[in-house]
Amino acid sequence: KRYFHFVSFLWNLQLLHTFEVVEKQSKQDIFKYTPCPAFLVFDNVAHVKDVNLELACRCKPEDVTSVVWYYQKDLERTSFALVLTDFQGLKIVDSSEVSPSSDIEHRFSIRMFSLIIFRTQVEDSGHYICSTSSGDFFYGYDVDVQSLDNAVLIFGDQKQKVQSDKVTKNYRVFTTFWDWTKCDRCGTRGEQRRIGLCYLESKYLYSRYRRSRESVASCGSSSVPGRFKYFIKKRKNEVIIRTCHVPCPTTQIPRAGVGSIQNFLTKLGKKPWLPEVPMQYYVHPLGYQLTLACPGARMEHMVGWDKGKQQLYRSKFLIGRNHSMRVFIDHANQLNIQIAQLDDKGIYYCWLDGVRVAGIRLSISYKGGRSRSISDPETKFALQTVFSFYMMLAGIYLCLQSLKCLCYIFKCPGIN
């Protein structure tokens, strides 16, 4: 009987060892069971501007230890192809210091054979191919980066409706919405956001491109025939804002008497006053543009802004809501002040996915004058305001003159 138990133990131990070997081999040979397509095709990927994008090299030979990514805007123009390589890991990019205005060569990184593009721009749309430096192609993507700058704003509390589908004989244009974000505040009235991107359904899409649905692709995809793009380019993306209410997470309540002792020590000056959230201090010159960003926030997050006890809701301060706004929140969750004034000073709090995470104490100071150029945002805003006022006065003057001429022609009584 003891001999039987000993043999069973050895048998189970052998099974465990075999399972462990198979598990290790499956982790090490992750590309072994994913064959590359015999004919290079491109997966359609729709993305939003200013959001990081990761493209995985889903297949490659086992003996390939490093890959090179190629970027090409249009396959028909074979003369231009951009090589994206990290020189076998020697190139390191800090995503927190990436500027959206820089070229794609300074906004990418290759990690575990995957291409990561930081803060994607509309100009990054095109074809991305995973390959080697010798020109062996493995996998391809058709990336369509869409912007929300001119998106249609829909406020659910005002019972506004989304855009209707555009249906023709050859195609159908519609909007596909992402999931709702988290509520930007807790314990008080907050807001949620939902982004909708443009898609097209047609049986005339090019067959070299792979899609989640055979006859559906994003509007900016290269699989869409050129004769359709002329008619769908006026289709705008959509952003839906609605009200939400969520309770704040419970926090640990201090023991009885501890809070009173801390307040007493603070009044005596024995203990410094500590803010509820980390506080940053910033001094900005009067009359210049200012952009405030919430620490740790990205475009896909939901950020709320407060100035002291005043909530800056998107239903009033979202960009595009009113073209004459001096203070607005853009689609990248940043708070923008076009021309800083003295009454802009104060403490600005930012909420990140329902949690208040940081505060910015802003001070406005005077600064000596400097020569401004026509490309400065402040100069553009001032010229636009003056031009709009001038056009309004010119319109009123022309209306009065036209009325006077009509009265003169038809000899209105009382008009000399």
* Residue 111 in tokens: 């990690």
End-to-end CA distance of the chain: 129
Q: Given a cut of 80, is residue 120 above it in pLDDT? A: yes
Percent of all residues in the chain with a pLDDT value above 70, rounded to a whole number:
77
Mean pLDDT, residues 365-374 taken together? 67
Q: What is the DSSP string of 313-366?
A: -HHHHBTTS-TT-SEEE-TTS-EEESS--GGG-EEEEEEETTEEEEEEEEEEE-
More confident residue, 273 or 291: 291
pTM over 0.85: no
pLDDT confidence of residue 299: 85
pLDDT in tens, 340-350: 899 999 999 99
Strands 303-307 and 310-312: antiparallel
* Residue 24 in tokens: 């290790």
Say how far apart CA 59 and CA 89 lie, in whole Å: 20
Contact 190, 245 (CB under 8 A): yes
pLDDT in tens, 201-260: 999 998 888 887 888 999 999 999 988 988 888 899 999 999 999 998 876 555 555 555
